[in-house]
A and B are shown apart, each in its own frame.
Chain A
Amino acid sequence: MTTTAGLPREVMGAMDARLSMPYTLTAGAATGVFLAELAQQRIVGTRCSACETIRVPAQDFCGDCGGDAHDLVIVPPSGDLLAWTVTDQGTVALVLLDGTDIPFLHQVVEGDPAALSMGARVTAVWAAEPQGAVMDLMGFALAPSEPVHAVEEAGETATPIEQLNYQMVLDYQHAYGHFYGSLFDGIKNDRRIRGVRCPSCRNVLVPPRAYCEACFVRTGDWVDVPDTGVLQACSVVHIEFIGQRVPPPYVYAEIVLDGTSTRLIHTVGGLSAEALRSGSVHPGSRVQAVWSDRRTGSLSDIDFFKVIDGPADE
């Protein structure tokens, strides 16, 4: 292990990452009916049994008084435009549908937004092919001569839509910062693993960081760390799962690189199923990184660790 001076010639900047999570959202009774009825070009609201407030979309609870007793009502597809705002996602609008007490948040579609005025009469515009979602009602359009219609009792309503498939996709560019940037630059270009030493507890920390968590003091010298170490704990993985990088069986392991006091999570590979069954990988096993042909500047530039013989390198 050697102490190194100076900064690396290049520090890697940022890592692209994406979180993509599938959901099956449960709409609940009232919203489920509201969504289902849009296919029939009917707008379903609720009339609160306690305070008589009529709101749309239909809700299981009254937002004003908290009551959960209500009747479903059919609200006319016409109303007054209360407010709108033109955005890059369309003209988002509040429409007070005829006979209701709470405005309905949706969009104004068709026509020039410059022609809109507060209080203008509007009427619903329906999608040609309903999908079972709120955009089956595409929005509202100006309808100056549209008469005022009345709210009606709902009577028989469609089966509520129980679940909505939803995919949340969020993209990130995570900054590495100086410490991770230096580590990953060293891994990518020099196959060199770098840590920092805490001036208080003298521990060597990998990945490197500005502060030692345990002492809460600023770290000191950069330290080159060998790619050999000791396996501290391990688990043999036999199952397959989404996102797996190597086919099972393999060993998921905590590895303490020589001279460091931190545990690196990686894999031990290059072993037959028989070798794994016979327990040839165990806490205390000496391991060494097997570097990949790839140079991505991440810990996956190490394909896996292999078991080696010999004493710890101090």
Chain B
Amino acid sequence: MGTDMKNRAAVVGSAQTEFRGAWSDRQHVDLITQAVSQALLGTGLRMADVDFVIDSGSDFLDGRSISNCGFLGAMGAHHKEESRVEEDGLWSAVYATTKILAGSGSVGLVVAYSKSSESDPRNFWSTLAEPFTQRPVGLDQHSAAGLYAQRYLARYGIDPEALRAVSDRAWAAASDNSWVDAKHAMLADPYWEEFVATPLRRRDMARPVDGAVALVVAAEHVARQVTNRPVWITGMGSAIDQHFLAARDATSFPAAAAAAANAFRMSGASSARDFDVVEVSAGSTVGELMVLEAIGLAEPGRAMDLYAPGSAPGLNASGGSLPADVVMATGLVRLHEVASQLGGRSAHGPTGATTGLAHGAGGIGMQNHCVVTLETS
């Protein structure tokens, strides 16, 4: 371990609902209770053992103000300390871990969820943009991704058609992930070929889905009692870029690089290549490539190489966020994936993995980035 952490925190349990295009017969609370009750299963921990709850969701997506107040019971937060993080759930995990390392609790529950099927998620994304000069000219998650993509592809001389390898691989992996309703054969529908923000087609964009994810973080003394395979959190970092998309770097994510550098400093890693399992979030295929380069898994302009058949077996074995993007929760899903794979609780991912990295992104055009590293022994 890099820096001196007196206390240690571990992921001791995690669970997700199935991710579906629409859970039209479930409320948020139904999805949340399902994930939360499953996350505790097998740990021997009961809700009474949970000291605090940290959760991520969006009032805009939920269609109600301070929506966590209505979901407290479903999260098991009745008469407990509870905090909402208005950012992807991976930031909630960092908050919870920090509380445990600081000694203000021994068991923390982290919850993230959304049901973007209940509204048009593009409205949610445009509400993030500055309303005077950015929102009215059509800035949203699609147009931001399109602008990044055109410049990235031009700079590195990559044919937009080559991006099919990225979405194909993601959807093929999701087909093998029974927790996601995405099947690779779905991409045969012409719907996915439509250009939504040239040069990007709909198949290049993260597909919003409904779902919830929950994760239990525990201090070392608890972790050793409740599991013989604690997944230690070894590093955490986050960084944010300028709000104005036009002022950001055209073809790279320096904030993702800074977030990873912070996490690596804590964990003693030198780059993402040090990790057996890597799960990253992205709003688009090109966004995913830029994240992989920022965290050091590929040189600038070379992330496409990771999608050659047989390469990078530990990368987004779940399928990642392209086939199933639970907005506000996708980063925490990545952490759940890594922890499950390292903890021997997952049906996918490489065997024998002991180290992992989870990445989350937030904001318009992936302005904000968070990286968490994990290790089991």
Contacts of A284 in B (CB 8 A): none
Q: Contact check, A177 vs B33: say whether CB atoms are below 8 A apart.
A: no
Complex interface: stretch among B21-29, B211-219, B231-239, B256-264: B21-29
Q: Contact check, B147 vs A171: say whether CB atoms are below 8 A apart.
A: no
Q: How far is the CA of A103 from the CA of B131 in the complex (A)?
A: 18
Q: Contact check, A94 vs B132: say whether CB atoms are below 8 A apart.
A: no
Q: Which residue of A lies closest to B200 (CB)?
A: A85
How many chain B residues sit at the interface, stated as a range, is 35 or more
Interfacial residues of chain B within 105-162, with CB under 8 A of chain A in the complex: 115, 117-120, 123, 127, 131-134, 136-140, 142-143, 146-147, 149-151, 154
Q: Contact check, B139 vs A134: say whether CB atoms are below 8 A apart.
A: no
Closest beta carbon of chain A to B343's beta carbon, Å: 23
Contact A216 to B25, CB < 8 A, known contacts A105-B137, A105-B244, A135-B136: no
Q: Please tell me if A102 contacts chain B, counting CB pairs below 8 Å.
A: yes
Contact A87 to B136, CB < 8 A, known contacts A63-B247, A170-B119: no
Q: Contact check, B25 vs A177: say whether CB atoms are below 8 A apart.
A: yes
Complex interface: stretch among B73-81, B93-101, B169-177, B315-323: B73-81
Interfacial residues of chain A within 13-65, with CB under 8 A of chain B in the complex: 13-14, 17, 19, 25, 27, 31, 34-35, 55, 57, 59, 63-64
Contacts of B37 in A (CB 8 A): 211, 216, 218
Contacts of B120 in A (CB 8 A): 171
Q: Which residue of A lies closest to B138 (CB)?
A: A89
Q: Please tell me if A127 contacts chain B, counting CB pairs below 8 Å.
A: no
Q: Contact check, A82 vs B151: say whether CB atoms are below 8 A apart.
A: yes
Contacts of A94 in B (CB 8 A): 147, 246
Contacts of B73 in A (CB 8 A): 209, 211-214, 216
Q: Contact check, A85 vs B47: say whether CB atoms are below 8 A apart.
A: no
Contacts of B133 in A (CB 8 A): 31, 34-35, 57, 105, 134
Q: Please tell me if B187 contacts chain A, counting CB pairs below 8 Å.
A: no
Q: Contact check, B195 vs A86: say whether CB atoms are below 8 A apart.
A: yes
Q: Please tell me if B30 contacts chain A, counting CB pairs below 8 Å.
A: yes
Q: How far is the CA of A2 from the CA of B192 in the complex (A)?
A: 52
Contacts of B244 in A (CB 8 A): 59, 63, 102, 105
- Shortest Cβ-Cβ A-B pairs, 4 listed: A213-B73, A85-B146, A89-B138, A177-B27
B: which residues have CB within 8 A of A?
23-27, 29-30, 33, 37, 47, 60, 63, 72-74, 76, 78, 115, 117-120, 123, 127, 131-134, 136-140, 142-143, 146-147, 149-151, 154, 195-200, 242-247, 250
Can you sample 7 A-B contacts with CB below 8 Å?
A: A63-B244, A86-B195, A87-B197, A105-B245, A118-B150, A171-B119, A179-B30
